[in-house]
Structure 1
Amino acid sequence: MEETYRLDLNNLPIELKLILDILQISDKVKSHQFSQELKDSNIDWEKFISLVYHHRIYPQVYTKLNKVHQALIPAQVIQRIENKYKKNTFNMLLLSAEMEYVSKMFESAEVKMLVLKGPVLAEDLYGDISLRTSNDLDILISISDLDRAEALLIKEGYLKDDYFTSILGEWRWRHHHVTYFHPVKKVKLELHWRLNPGPGAEPCFKDLWKRKRISCITKKPIYFLGREDLFLFLISHGARHGWSRLRWLVDIHQLVEQDIDWNQIFLLIKKYQLEKISGKVLILASNLLGTNIKKEMISLVSNWRSKELGQKTIFYFENMINLHSEPLPTEISKYHQKYLFSLKTIKQKWIFIVSFLYPYPEDASTLQLPKNLHILYFLLRPFLWCWRKTKRSYALYRGI
């Protein structure tokens, strides 16, 4: 690895270093030897298991463990990871069946859908649906089909689980999916109309559909993202979550080993201003997973801002941060907000700042106006925001 994009990993937990070493075990090597540092370390096996679970990488870790001298890993540790692996395999089979059923249902209603993750992604990246974890189905449709798709799901027994208030149609760009849950099948399904929450430009559904691929893991073909679009989706999704789960980075490691059209990648990341994020992701994958930086990637990883962002991301690995567990500790929340803002280009920062001037549902809660006067919230929003801020500060002061 070149020094120009080497990150400081000294503060990573030794248990995570062991996991990273396991993930880099080659399938071509019959037996793997750990570094002397790992051999001499006093591993906290409960923490090791917690990290494997947290990062959602127990399928990959379990399948690599047969390359390790069994005396180095306690048998009960392997057994617990194997149990999670088997449970995940069953769950992925269940999701595969439901994915095919929903696809048939949507097709009969002429609703086009693209599967974003789940069993299709596992098969595409790892060649086996059991080698990646997934808790739900993520489906992308055109926003024009959203009402029809929701009606189909509700008729099938799905319950809307992700309600949010909205004002002046801002949900179309501030949000990007709605969650549904089937109480009998125990399946969670996220219905997306955008790849990521806004504001921000991204490929439209029509273009994504043109570049789609076909998966044949079920009897009926399932459509999913083209490789280059998948790269964009995975890096933007992972970056938004601080790469706080190794699973997302392992996905990138697997994807870049495929036959990718890097010229198309460069066009897309330039169009959607993802150069810094792309370089940062490749630097992270190289440092943590030993991903080979090919000559086509050099221009991306050579950006000093990409390395700086990569080093900031190591914070999430050092502290095992779970961004899905709310409320977040104040210091974590502040760090993550600053981190997300640092990912943006100057243009994206301006768009983000200006978007705060667009009314929020909280404005309507603060001062209720008739629907035909909601346009006035554009003028009132700065005052309503100041009023809420003052009330919170006063309440905090009285509580001290």
Structure 2
Amino acid sequence: MENNFSLDLALIPKELKLILEIIKIEDVERFQANSSDWFKDIDWKLFLEFALHHRVYPILSLKLKKFEVNLIPQNVIQILNLTYKKNTLQMLHLSSVMVEICKIFNDNQIKLLVLKGPILGEDLYGDVSKRTSGDLDVLIPIDDLAKIEELLPQLGYEKDDYIQTVLNDWTWRHHHVTYFHPQKNIKLEIHWRLNPGPGKEPSFIELWKRKRVSSLTSYPVYYLGREDLFLFLVSHGARHGWSRLRWLIDIKQLVKQNINWVSLAKLLKKHQFLNVAGQAIVLCSQLLSISITNEMKPLIKGKQPKMLAQAAIFYLEKMVNLHTDPVPEDISKYHKRHLTFLMSRQQRVFFFISFLYPYPEDAETLPLPKYLHFLYFPLRPFLWAWRKTKSHAIS
């Protein structure tokens, strides 16, 4: 990398560094012959916690089977092997439900693109068991959400109605709604955007034109084209601080494929994701030892991708879980700042302008009849100031 740049990894726990080394190895015998120091003073309980947190236990389980018996405690290998087997059953179950959902949506004239789940296991790793997934994520046109509202409850899915909205801000502030099937123990996320707004991203029509058909099932299951998948995965991973290594390993697997880097660069530039993509490439290079090809170099040009990559190391120094509330205050503050740094100048402008648009909290602070909701625009600064004053008084 230019100027011999390297990330500061000093504060990453040695247990996580060992996991990274195991993930990277190609020749197990050579690694074992020259790596005895890696296994000294390892807290194996913490090693397992990191493996589960970062969702990398399928890869670790398969690699550790080839290791000498005395290097790693047998109970560690047994636990990883057990979780790997459970994950295999889960992915097969998800595959079955995925096909069922695709058939039902097709029968109801709803176009659907699968975003994650077993599709990525097959496409990126060649085997659904090598990647974990807790739910199914699919993308549909926003105009078909009304059909979903009627259809999914008939199939036994219950909506997690957590979205509060005013003046239809949900259409761009949010990007998915969640359904749960209690009997099948399946969580289904219905997306109408790839990412929460505000911000530019490819339209559903564009994504549909570039779609691929999965080889995982006999029934046609459609998913994102390679360049669109790259944009989605880097934007998703960055938005979550790359706090799970699995997301970076997905990028490592994806760059091995036949990506059209010229088209990808244009796509990323158009939708303001060049620096985010550069961050992912730098992290994969430094943590997972991918080779930076000439085609990738335009994505890591300048200081910003490297600065963003270093900032993301914070999430690996700790076991950060952004999905479980309450998120510790220090992590929450850091993450808010990091999300701002990820934005391009144009995205920041859109982001700050969006604060002028009414929030559901404004309607809670001053309930008005729906036909008067337009008044929340001029009233918003005053309502925001009132909430802040009240909050400070209470504290």
TM-score computed with the length of structure 1 as normaliser: 0.96
Structure 2 counterparts to residues 149-188 of structure 1, below 5 A? 149-188=148-187
Misfit runs of 4+, over 6 Å: none
C-alpha contact (below 8 Å) 2:28/2:67 kept by paired residues: no
2: distance between equivalents of 1:92 and 1:304?
A: 40
Aligned-pair CA distance for 1:163: 2.5
1:272-291 C-alpha deviation (Å, 9 max, x unpaired): 11111111110000111111
Distance of 1:384 and 1:211 partners within structure 2: 45
2:8 aligned with 1:8: yes
CA distance in 1, matches of 2:80, 2:30: 20
Q: In the alignment, does 2:365 pair up with 1:379? A: no
Deviations 1:338-372 (A, max 9, x none): 00000111111111011001000000000011111
- After the TM superposition, which residues 361-376 of structure 1 pair with which residues of structure 2 at under 5 Å, given as runs? 361-376=360-375
Query: Does structure 1 residue 279 correspond to structure 2 residue 272?
Result: no
Q: 1:34, CA displacement in angstroms?
A: 6.8
- Counterpart of 1:222 in structure 2 is 221
State the distance in 2 between where 1:241 and 1:163 align: 20
CA distance in 2, matches of 1:123, 1:5: 34
Structure 2: how far apart are the matches of 1:89 and 1:201? 36
CA distance in 2, matches of 1:331, 1:174: 24
Whole-angstrom CA distance in 2 between matches of 1:171 and 1:319: 32
> 1:56 and 1:373, CA in 2 relative to 1: closer, same or farther beyond 3 A?
same
Matched, 1:69 2:68: yes
Aligned match of 1:125? 124
Match for residue 261 of structure 2? 262
Deviation at 1:38, TM superposition (A): 3.7
State the secondary structure of the residue aligned to 2:222.
strand
For 1:87 and 1:34, how far apart are their aligned partners in 2? 32
Partner of 1:47: 46
Confirm whether residue 241 of structure 1 aligns to residue 215 of structure 2.
Answer: no
1:327-366 map, 5 Å: 327-366=326-365
Q: TM-score normalised to the size of structure 2?
A: 0.97
Q: Give secondary structure in 1 for the equivalent of 2:65.
A: helix
Structure 2 gap ranges (5+): none
CA RMSD of aligned residues (A): 1.3
Structure 2 equivalent of residue 311 of structure 1:
310
Distance in 1 between residues matched to 2:86 and 2:124, nearest whole Å = 20
Match for 1:67: what amino acid?
Answer: K
Q: What is the aligned length?
A: 395
Structure 1, unmatched stretches of 5+, are: none
Distance 1:303 1:67 in 2: 41
Match of 2:112 in 1: 113
Between stretches 145-154 and 118-127, larger displacement belongs to 145-154
Q: Shift of residue 30 of structure 1?
A: 5.4
Determine what percentage of the aligned residue pairs are the same residue.
Answer: 55
Q: C-alpha distance in 2, partners of 1:284/1:345? A: 19
